[in-house]
Amino acid sequence: MNERRTAGATTAHRVVVLGAGYAGMSAAVQLAARTRGRADVQVTVVNARERFTERMRLHLTGTGQQVAHLSIPEMLAGTGARFERGWVTAVDADARTVRIDDDRVLPYDTLVYGLGGVADTASVPGVEEHAHTLNGAQDAEVLAGRLAHLGNSNGSGSGRGTVVVVGTGLTGIESAAEIAEQYPGLRVVLLGRTEPGAAMNPKAGAYLRAALVRLGVRARSGVEVVKVLPGAVELAGGESVPADVVLWTSGTRVSPLAAAAGLGVDERGRVVTDEALRSVSHPAVYAVGDAAAVRQHYGVMHGTCQGGMPTGVHAAVSILRELAGRRPRPFRFGYYHTPVSLGRHDAVVQFTRPDDSPRRVHLTGRRAAWYKEVVTAAPWPTYGRMRKMPASGALWPRGGRFTRVGRQR
């Protein structure tokens, strides 16, 4: 049913979206745009800050480069969705309430849980105290200030010092390249268990590693950081690597709120969903983006913007189907690319199969840098298009036979 009846009165179906990242905003904009003008559905977005976090640009913010300040209330303007600023401190999945800042309680009929992942600073001693992260714009700005101080320590703009970036995933690679390009006087060391670009095809991976060498990044793979100290990182085996600044990008963790609420979660704390993105333990909760353990035929999806936004849109469409008395369709998604920036004028774009394995096709150089910038900027015109033409948001790569499941009406 579209409406609830309380003491003879008809009230709207309350949809609360927790987290205004790429996935949460997609869910909110899509649902609000499709129900604009209707009195039977109320959409509320809860986020700790009014500023939207462009995670795909945090390595730019972290090196002091200016990026646009995007306002969540402005992005929701005209959709009819409400915005609540505050920290989510508890979810009661049985009572269907959300506690905000410990002093506000927000009831819901359907919850979209999109409290995504952040860098895991708890699993290795010293990270919390001595390392920087790119968990948000504020963290990135703190890092930018530290790098600027170190990079200009001799007053000439070419200060000396060592920056250690831990983690050879995409965030670590992009951050190391950006720091090396912006501060050529600094020694940048990239440490990780796997070789940078290991998931790419051989030519694309070789190009990426050669670009890091050209930028002066010293990459070391097959190493594990076991402790972060003031002025150094300690590796398994006892070796110590000097570090004036440590940037931690290794591993992610999700909010413990889902587990504390009694939602079924996997070993990483992500909400386990059915094929329609509903919690297997509490079907009134949809999980999207990094917060969800979404299983496809090729395995559980990993958190990326290209997959996160479609989960948000699918959750919105599924909620509307349920309100109309129809069964939600299964979610299907296939990966199609992995773009990696290597400074402002260089990049690698690895095109992939739907299961995220690399194809032979890839782009490099300025064409790839242009492609990466188009991808990074894509969410904003996408949100704008969804506000005007909601159905356009449901267009994403399904992956064909790699992700196909039984069709439902």
Q: Is residue 189 within 8 Å of 212, Cβ to Cβ?
A: no
| Alpha carbon distances (Å) from 274 to 163, 218, 307, 330 | 43, 43, 16, 8
Rounded CA separation 131/233 (Å): 10
Give the count of beta carbons closer than 10 Å to the beta carbon of residue 28: 33
Q: Which residues of 265-300 are buried (b: 16+ CB within 10 A; e: fewer)?
A: beeebbbbbebbbbbeebeebbbbbbbbbbebebee
- Going along the chain from its start, the domains and CATH numbers come out as 3-117+254-331+378-402 (3.50.50.60), 127-250 (3.50.50.60)
229 φ, ψ (degrees, to nearest 5) = -115, 165
Here the tokens at position 389 are: 């033409």
Listed in order, strand segments (DSSP E) in 243-320 are 245-248, 252-253, 271-272, 285-287, 292-293, 295-296, 299-300
Rounded Cα–Cα distance for residues 199 and 267 (Å)? 24
In terms of Cα–Cα distance, which of 149, 98, 147 is closest to 261?
Answer: 98
Q: What is the pLDDT along the chain (409 residues), one digit of tens a residue?
A: 445 554 445 589 999 999 999 999 999 999 999 998 899 999 999 999 999 999 999 999 999 999 888 899 999 988 999 999 999 999 999 999 999 998 999 999 999 999 988 899 999 999 999 999 999 999 999 999 999 999 886 444 556 899 999 999 999 999 999 999 999 999 999 999 999 999 999 999 999 999 999 999 999 999 999 999 999 999 999 999 999 999 999 988 999 999 999 999 999 999 999 999 999 999 999 999 999 999 998 899 987 778 899 999 999 999 999 999 999 999 999 999 999 999 999 999 999 999 999 999 999 999 999 999 999 998 888 888 888 887 766 666 776 555 544 433 3
Q: Which two tokens stand for residue 70?
A: 């995007």
